[in-house]
Amino acid sequence: MLKPEISVISSVYNGEKYLKKSLESILDQTYSNFEFIIVNDGSKDKTKLILNNLAKLDKRITIINNKKNLGLSNSLNKAIKVSKGQFIARHDCDDYSCKERLKIQIEYLIRNKDIDVIGSNSKVFNNQNKYLFSFKMPRSNKDIRCYSYFGNPFLHPTVMIRKKIFLGNKILYNKNYLTSQDYELWVQILTTHKGYNLNQDLVYITNHKKQTSKKKKNLQKKNSINILFSIQKNKKKFNKNFFENLLIFMDNASDLKNNNNKIKILDQIYYYMKYIFFKKKFKSFYVMMFVLKKIFIIDKFYFLKNSINFFYILIFIILEKFILIKK
């Protein structure tokens, strides 16, 4: 048997509903020289049975069974450590990869030696297979670094990475992050390596209620803030400072025709600016006024929807500018 060029890694917890069809989207790839490492993260449903049945039919599958639920970071790190391929491709067990995905990505990385991480756009469907919206990701390395200040620059299940990044830099998923572990990983990688997103929908993402709880969403926001400040510490490697990137990011938001992406961007801008100002990390009356004005221009409905929150922010920065600063 040939040594696999690609190691596809996945982790699943109680994923029986989507599992078989999702895994078959990898097994049916036009590019066939890969191994498929799947970590069963302490599932209590029929996940283990489904995995065992598929493994009997396809020798490329390797199953790792966790005795208890260890979480995504620990499970993916396990898979990386036993992988044999030169390239690591991610796959989520409720999503579907198009048949050409692995072929397209590995050919791009072979042609472009300076790129170490590659992702793509994606279409999102609900659990009735109804199309909801598309994710259009930043393409060039420069745009990806800019986007990193305000959101995750790669869609996790679309990514392929050169394994040498993990080996040479001793970089792995941070086990302290229960959410946003991929975002934190990209920030680590982008300080010394280049990334790129293909302008193709290579993965179809399933959006279902079970995915993210309200508690996890709050944790994601908290983790994102920590990641933002880690970027600030390495801003020389990211080329531009926060405000320079903010201007570029808002220009991208105003050009977006996809309303879901636009709202996502505005949410990120609003949340970061609110956090930074109320924590008094820095003071800039004119920048905040510019941001509020720009948000109003980009989407008046969004501005009015959050008008009470924006009103409190305005009061705060006016007080800061004309009263607090004078003290």
CATH of the domain at 83: 3.90.550.10
Same domain, 202 and 254: no
Work out the pLDDT band at 297, boundaries 50, 70, 90. Answer: confident
pLDDT in tens, 213-244: 445 666 776 677 677 666 656 555 544 555 55
For 251-269, what is the mean pLDDT? 61
Q: Are residues 313 and 251 in the same domain?
A: yes
pLDDT of 323 over the 60 cut = no
Residue with tokens 């926060």: 242
- Comparing 306 with 92, the larger pLDDT belongs to 92
Name the domain boundary from 202, 231, 260: 231
For the residues of 209-278, what is the DSSP string, one character each?
TTS--HHHHHHHHHHHHHHHHHHHHTTTTTSS-HHHHHHHHHHHHHH---HHHHHHHHHHHHHHHHHHHH
63 plus 130 within the same structural domain? yes
pLDDT of residue 144: 86
Is it the case that residue 124 has pLDDT exceeding 50?
yes
Q: Is residue 236 a part of any domain in this protein?
A: no
Domain boundary among 169, 202, 231: 231
Average pLDDT over residues 104-124: 97
**Range in 26-30, 175-179, 310-314 with the lowest mean pLDDT:** 310-314
pLDDT over 90 at 74, yes or no = yes
Same domain, 58 and 102: yes
Residue 324 is predicted with a pLDDT of 46
pLDDT tens digits for range 26-46? 999 999 999 999 999 999 999
Q: By the 8 A CB rule, do 54 and 20 touch? A: yes
- Any idea what the Cα angle at residue 225 is, between residues 223 and 231, rounded to 5°? 105
Residue 59 has pLDDT above 90, yes or no: yes
Average pLDDT, integer, range 7-30: 96
Planar angle of CA 54, 121, 95, nearest 5 degrees:
25
Q: Does 1 map to a domain?
A: no
- Domain-located, residue 245: yes
pLDDT on residue 245: 60
- Domain containing 268 equals 241-324
- Tokens of residue 323, six digits: 């009263």
Same domain, 182 and 260: no
